[in-house]
Amino acid sequence: MTGRGLVVAGLTIVAGGLAAAALFVWSGIYNVSASRQHLDVTTWILDTLRRHSVRTHSLGIAAPPLDAPGLVRLGAVHYDLACAACHGAPGRPASALADAMLPTPPPLGPAVREWSPEELSWIVLNGQKYTGMPAWVAPRRGDEVWAVVAFLRRLPQIDAAEYRRLAGLPTQSSTVRAPGIGVATDAEPMAMCRRCHGPSGARTVGPLVPPLAGQPVRYLARALSEYADGTRPSGIMQFAARGLDAAAVGRLARAFAAKASSTPSHEPDPTDPGSRIAHEGIPERGIPPCLTCHSGEADPRFPRLAGFSATYLERQLRLWRDDVRGRSGYAAIMRPIARRLDPGEAASVAAYLARLAPAGAEGGGAP
């Protein structure tokens, strides 16, 4: 056969293959029902593609320290509210509905051993096609997923009692937990808030979570509303706030605002550069005094920063600086201020404001 004949024969075979594939797709013969397993070759292709994709796309990710105070506890609460229904947890089987998914979501205790922290962070942030695994609600908040990763790394070593402790659940459950997908039955709005922010709103699960006790009602209601509509992105808080109606938002804001919160001294410390920024600002660089807006006597639209940890405050300044914190009118105020502070100044003013906090406000230190 001549070279031309070989080309014609090859093109004919390719055309025939494409036509057969098109006929197969058009005919509907392939059963897409979730009650029928994939063909073995389909399962192999999807699993191999998934593993190599995760490993390739997680290159360049660097995990932060996963033993930071409160990180595991924060991740445990989020896992219990958003992940356990599909994947199960120690002492809690997965939902029967999850068992009917294809593929069935795996128990994550054994599964996490297959992945590095960096790979887990990519999976939690991005989700996975063809598995039902959703992406993080706020895709630009990659900083939030490390709490879940820290918990997942601990998961294979914990029993049911330790799981309940870390997730902020009662030692002995007095209610039957719903087996469905979504928020568990004990996650009534106030109960859900308390699991991270503490019963009084002052003693939180860790320094990444702000205390809410004594914050202005107007600020708390605004923050919840901004989380709910995505104006203020957070994969944790958008999930918690999305289902709240206006009446529930008002009740939560009033409940936490009414909690007792001591008023720390706002006396300047002339030896501390962070004190200067908090009390005087840096006028020559367009940086106003923090406490003009963020003290107990200031505008109720703004939070009182004296109850917040240095870790939380530094992170928020970084989010403002990187244009991740949100697109509200209040973001337009804070974004340029955060960008005018260098990292050392941000750390200094955060540390000073943290020292003004009432005792116990920073949150638990145990992971």
Domain residue limits, the chain:
71-166, 189-257, 273-355
The one-letter code for the residue type at 201 is G
Average pLDDT, the chain: 87
**The predicted structure's pLDDT at residue 175:** 44
**The predicted structure's pLDDT at residue 246:** 92
**The predicted structure's pLDDT at residue 173:** 53
* CATH 1.20.140.10 correct for 71-166: no
Token pair recorded at residue 146: 């490390």
| pLDDT grade for 184, boundaries at 50, 70 and 90 | very low
Q: Where are the alpha helices (DSSP H) in the chain?
A: 3-27, 40-57, 71-82, 84-87, 96-99, 108-111, 117-126, 145-154, 160-166, 189-197, 217-228, 237-241, 246-257, 273-279, 290-294, 310-321, 329-340, 343-355
DSSP-assigned letter for residue 266:
-
- Rounded mean pLDDT, 205-213: 92
Question: What are the phi and psi torsion angles at 321 (to 5°)?
Answer: -60, -40
> Residue 181 above 50 pLDDT?
no
* CA–CA gap between residue 348 and residue 297 (Å, rounded): 23
pLDDT per residue as tens digits for the range 302-328: 999 987 999 999 999 999 999 999 888
| Annotation: CATH topology of 273-355 | Cytochrome Bc1 Complex; Chain D, domain 2 (1.10.760)
pLDDT per residue as tens digits for the range 216-274: 999 999 999 999 999 999 999 998 898 899 999 999 999 998 876 666 667 788 889 99
pLDDT per residue as tens digits for the range 63-76: 999 999 899 999 99
In 47-58, which positions are buried (b, 16+ CB within 10 angstroms) versus exposed (e)? Answer: eeebeeebeeeb
- Rounded mean pLDDT, 152-168: 94
- Rounded mean pLDDT, 49-63: 94
**The predicted structure's pLDDT at residue 172:** 63
**The predicted structure's pLDDT at residue 199:** 81
**The predicted structure's pLDDT at residue 73:** 95
- Rounded mean pLDDT, 87-97: 91
> Residue 124 above 90 pLDDT?
yes
Query: Which residues, in sequence order, are CB contacts of 62 under 8 Å at separation 6+?
Result: 118
**The predicted structure's pLDDT at residue 3:** 67
Range with the poorest average pLDDT among 283-292, 297-306, 355-364? 355-364
> Residue 108 above 70 pLDDT?
yes
| pLDDT grade for 180, boundaries at 50, 70 and 90 | very low
189-257 to CATH, choices 3.40.50.1980, 3.40.50.970, 1.10.760.10, 1.10.287.610: 1.10.760.10
- Whether 71-166 and 273-355 share one fold: the answer is yes
Global pTM?
0.87
Range with the poorest average pLDDT among 20-24, 121-125, 321-325? 20-24
> Residue 162 above 90 pLDDT?
yes
| pLDDT grade for 357, boundaries at 50, 70 and 90 | low
- Rounded mean pLDDT, 10-30: 85
* CA–CA gap between residue 224 and residue 155 (Å, rounded): 30
Calculate what percentage of the chain has a pLDDT beyond 90: 57
